[in-house]
Amino acid sequence: MTQVKPGRASSRYVAAMTGTGEHGPGGALDPWDWWRGTSELWRWGERVREIWLDDLADDATRSATRQRRIAGLLGHARENSAFYRTHYRHLPSGCADLRACPPVTRSQLMANFDGWVTDPQLRRRELEAFVRDPSRVAEPWLGKYAVWTSSGTTGVPGIYVQDPDALAVYAALLTTRFEFGPMVADPWQMPGASARMALVAATGGHFAGVVWWERQCRLHPLLAAHTRVFSILQPLDTLVAQLNDWQPAFVGSYPTMLALLAHEQCEGRLKIRPRAVWSGGEALTAADRVAIADGFACPVVEDYGASECMQIAFGCRHGRLHLNDDWVVLEPVDEDGDPVPPGQPSRTVLLTNLANRVQPVIRYDLGDSVTVDTTPCPCGQRRPSVRVQGRRDDVLVLDGAGGADVRLLPLAIETVIEEEAGVHRFQLIQTSRNALCLRVDAPGARQRAVACRRAARALARFLKAQGVGAVELKLDDCPPQVNPVSGKLRRVRASAASG
């Protein structure tokens, strides 16, 4: 079992609660932010204590604690959420059997948003206006809630509200369970200038990772000088120059971006010496793990989370993802919704978040394919581990205006088309070296044509800013094609044959 020392967790919290120097709010500390920061510290301490006790408990006690939380969540949802009262109307009163509860989808929940949430002050129309304003990123809604958005790969963008207790659970899990291995100092304890951290992420919207970092900056501005957010939307050479100037000791980003940066490091253009890199937001392949670790000559730490639940699983020094099963229930199922045994990949997975009460996520179809591994891990952690085959799109390589290769991150392309064009269900396929095909899903030919033009204009501006040369862009009348096996939509593909 992994042992957690109280002093180590406390120092990790101080650093985990940092924000961003580049995109942070700046200015004097608001007294309300100070009060919220103090309140959050207290909540965090309570949750850390619960996690320590659960880590030390025997299996029977752990199971009882988890079942108590499940029963409490189901009772709370039926009492306070109009959606779940209706959705569970055929279940007996007081039912605490999670498997008896019918699953839910994002489209169901978003269509019934005002009835889904348990705080009647939360209204979808008001929150949609809020998240359209990037200047309000990390602003506490109603003085207490964190709000972020998710990708619209299903055609339905999500808006997620996190209550203070859920945020405290995420912070406690983040700061107590990750391991960095014997070859690297704990990055949360790096002192002084060596503590610099960089988050390379999609910016300009209310995305979960950026909201989290910005929020901590507001609450704990004294440590904000040691962290910075860098946008994936800028040209790669500009990003490389900024990272060279910042010299972070710790870098967090998506696997596709980390692989690009590792390539730049090997080519000698990027010249940083991180002690660890953090990978999340996409599936990390074994090949990319090796390439990233070799490129930076440091460990790669991985996590598994989603907008619906930030801390689903945590990485250990042996490269396995261990499920936070005291706060998360993950049910791998087949195409009929039946359980899939350990060792077998699922068609999808049902997620239950035991931490968030304001917007209950219960047996939510997350869409990822996961495989549960119950074999003992060399790290000694008793919690089961999972292998995740999540959504993973392709990096596109085009000719630059000067003749050099230009590599385009799929998440950057997706962010531009979503945020600038308002198009969420699309597919961009590279059909040859300098030719792209764009497909858009919209009701009716006229709406599809309008959406295609908006997406094409946004894409053209982005390609020009990235230094891409002449590109042929074809607008395809066909709708986006999902993978016939997984049923998932890959929005950026290097070729039509890549699936």
Q: Domain residues for 486?
A: 396-498
Is 86 in the same domain as 156? Answer: yes
362, 389, 416 - which closes a domain: 389
Distance of alpha carbon 138 from alpha carbon 160, whole angstroms: 13
Query: How many percent of the chain have pLDDT more than 90?
Result: 52
Is 299 in the same domain as 400? Answer: no
Distance of alpha carbon 421 from alpha carbon 398, whole angstroms: 22
pLDDT of residue 275: 92
Half-sphere exposure at residue 367, Cβ-oriented, CA atoms within 13 angstroms: 22
pLDDT tens profile 29-87: 455 555 566 777 888 899 999 999 999 999 999 999 999 999 999 999 999 999 999 99
Let me know if residue 158 belongs to a domain: yes
**Rg (Cα) of the chain, in Å, rounded?**
22
Q: What is the token pair recorded at 426? A: 């699309």
Is 54 in the same domain as 199? Answer: yes
- Ranked by mean pLDDT, the top range of 316-325, 357-366, 379-388, 486-495 is 357-366
Residue 457 contacts by C-beta under 8 Å, 6 or more apart in sequence? 421
Let me know if residue 1 belongs to a domain: no
Residue 490: which CATH number? Answer: 3.30.300
Residue 290: which CATH number? Answer: 3.40.50.12780
Q: What is the mean pLDDT of the chain?
A: 84
Residue 386 contacts by C-beta under 8 Å, 6 or more apart in sequence? 304, 313, 321, 323, 330, 370, 371, 372, 373
- Give 98's DSSP letter: G
Q: Average pLDDT in the 93-117 region?
A: 95
pLDDT tens profile 389-427: 865 688 899 998 877 889 888 888 888 888 888 888 888
Angle between the N-to-C axes of helices 31-56 and 164-177, in degrees from 0 to 180, rounded to the nearest 10: 60
Total domains in the chain come to: 2
- Give 468's DSSP letter: B
The pTM is what?
0.80
Is 403 in the same domain as 329? Answer: no
Is 53 in the same domain as 186? Answer: yes
pLDDT tens profile 227-262: 889 999 999 999 999 999 999 999 999 999 999 999
Is the Cβ–Cβ distance between 198 and 336 less than 8 Å?
no
Let me know if residue 253 belongs to a domain: yes
**Confidence class of residue 9 from pLDDT cuts 50, 70 and 90?**
very low
pLDDT of residue 63: 96
pLDDT tens profile 268-296: 999 999 999 999 888 888 888 899 999 99
Is 402 in the same domain as 382? Answer: no
